[in-house]
Structure 1
Amino acid sequence: MKNKIISSVLFSALALAGCNAQAEKTNFDNLSQSDKDQIGKIASDYIIDHPDVLIKASNKLQSQQEEQQKAEAKKMVKAVLANKEKLLSDPATPVYGPQDAKVALIEFFDYQCAYCSKMAPYMKQIEEKYPKVKFVFKETPIFGSQWEASDYAAKVGLWIYKNYGSKAYNNYHNDLFATNKMEGQLQKSDINAVAKKIGADISKFDDKENTSVDISLFKDLGFQGTPSFIVMPVKNANENNTFVIPGADPNSIVTAIEKVQKQTN
């Protein structure tokens, strides 16, 4: 068993060398078990005598993964910059914060998303810590086909913003997450109750007149899930001052805000 594990590790190291690794694997699979065991012993002895091989392979793999992540991030930033008007200037998108804000924090979220729910208290803290930041709320009900309340909550949110304004929407947003209901637990009755609590006459909301929420921008930017965040200056955004955070990472959000604030002051 030890020889098999080590030979597998050695193959992983060989795979880093280039595209011939698949041919090497095919040849290895065609060998008899005794030949495989012998190769395993040779690999085991070699690695024991040269442990630096595994360290070098591990370092190279880590380096390749980091480069891949950087390339993906750069690609997403370019997509963000190509869509900055849709991100920052869409009149139907809920926003909260000063009109003259220099920094924008954009969040893509679903009210049924567990990670979005866990991030909500941190987002509220960030909102309180950075009152000069413009918060942009991109309703993204990716679970709409699975849970009807996901799409319903997003549509009610957009309706509240349109009819009751920014502050009412922000209260709805925070209070709905404060229910701690997610992944199918959130129901229309919960959404209606929160809407009523923040002063909206939910009886005037007509679900039939409100079409499904468009999440095409979320897909165009290359995001894979919610929550996802973008921190960028409201004006003169470029590749050096625009940050994409695809996941629940409050520390990275704060770091990005601090960097953009320094550049815009």
Structure 2
Amino acid sequence: MRTRTLVISLVLFCLVIFAAAIIYYDRSQGTNEPAVVEKTPLVRDYSPVIGPEDAPVTIVEFFDPSCEGCRAMYPYVKQIMAAYPDRVRLVLRYVLFHKGSEEAVRILETAREQGVYKPVLDAVVKAQPQWHDDPNVAAAWEAAKAAGLDVEAARTGMNSSKIDDIIQQDAADVKAVGISGTPTFYVNEEKLSRLGPQELYDLVTSKIESPK
């Protein structure tokens, strides 16, 4: 009898301990505040934009001008924008993974200051096989000049603090977003999960049909 009483007491004690543990867990889960993670913007107010500023669909491309994949995708990006000229805009964020990428970005930014960003971008991307991974990017300078860049003025202004700030902020955002390869695309903040022309077109089309 005494043994039975002892067993029952032990069982009841264990149940009380278990119930107390459950109550403590539930309360602790309810009182803990979720971690707040500051979202890094995909678009900065200084970011270069091609297309209408008020377009309902925004393609953000994390873009390395020396990246062969970026060059391969660029004609398809242009085709998508040509198909939807009033509804799609392209925002470029710079990624510097290759030799010569930084100087190529400085060429592009001086071209933007001179008002010839789009033709210089087209020319530099097209000429990329001639200057890919060349730290002096000589062929990029030649292509930019042929597209209308004032090279003398560009070389004078390419190391300005303004361009330094753009490069540094983009580098920080690349790290914060977790970009490990280029090109990486976002369409209205949704990441393109599989890289390919058709996949990008389908994602853009889905956002055009339902932009919100």
Match of 1:190 among 139, 152, 157: 139
Tell me: higher relative CO, structure 1 or 2? Use CA pairs within 8 A at least 6 residues apart: 2
Identity value in percent: 24
Equivalent pairs, count:
167
Q: In the alignment, is residue 258 of structure 1 matched against residue 212 of structure 2?
A: no
Quote the RMSD (CA, aligned, Å): 2.4
Three-state SS of the structure 2 residue aligned to 1:136 is: strand
Could you tell me how far apart the structure 2 residues matched to 1:175 and 1:100 are?
26
Could you tell me how far apart the structure 2 residues matched to 1:175 and 1:183 are?
13
Residue 124 of structure 1 contacts residue 174 of structure 1 at CA under 8 Å; is this kept in 2?
A: no
Match of 1:156 among 103, 107, 117: 107
Q: Which of structures 1 and 2 has the bigger CA Rg? A: 2
After superposing on structure 2, the runs of 4+ consecutive aligned residues of structure 1 that deviate more than 4 Å are none
Residue 112 of structure 1 contacts residue 186 of structure 1 at CA under 8 Å; is this kept in 2?
A: no
Could you tell me how far apart the structure 1 residues matched to 2:194 and 2:175 are?
15
Q: In the alignment, is residue 211 of structure 1 matched against residue 164 of structure 2?
A: yes
Q: CA deviation at 1:188?
A: 2.6
Could you tell me how far apart the structure 1 residues matched to 2:109 and 2:205 are?
29
Residue 171 of structure 1 contacts residue 198 of structure 1 at CA under 8 Å; is this kept in 2?
A: yes
Match of 1:115 among 45, 62, 69: 69
Could you tell me how far apart the structure 2 residues matched to 1:172 and 1:184 are?
19
Q: In the alignment, is residue 103 of structure 1 matched against residue 54 of structure 2?
A: no
Three-state SS of the structure 2 residue aligned to 1:100 is: coil
Match of 1:83 in 2: 40
TM-score, normalized by length of structure 2? 0.69
Could you tell me how far apart the structure 2 residues matched to 1:200 and 1:251 are?
33
Q: CA deviation at 1:125?
A: 1.6
Gaps of 5+ in 2: 1-36
Q: CA deviation at 1:248?
A: 3.6
Cα distance change of structure 1 residues 256 and 186 upon mapping to structure 2, 3 Å threshold? farther
Could you tell me how far apart the structure 2 residues matched to 1:106 and 1:208 are?
25
Q: CA deviation at 1:130?
A: 2.1
Cα deviation, 1:47-89, whole Å, max 9, x if unaligned, reads xxxxxxxxxxxxxxxxxxxxxxxxxxxxxxxx8x9233xx334
The letter for the 1-side match of 2:40 is N
Residue 140 of structure 1 contacts residue 154 of structure 1 at CA under 8 Å; is this kept in 2?
A: no
Cα distance change of structure 1 residues 98 and 176 upon mapping to structure 2, 3 Å threshold? same
Q: CA deviation at 1:184?
A: 1.7
Match of 1:179 in 2: 127
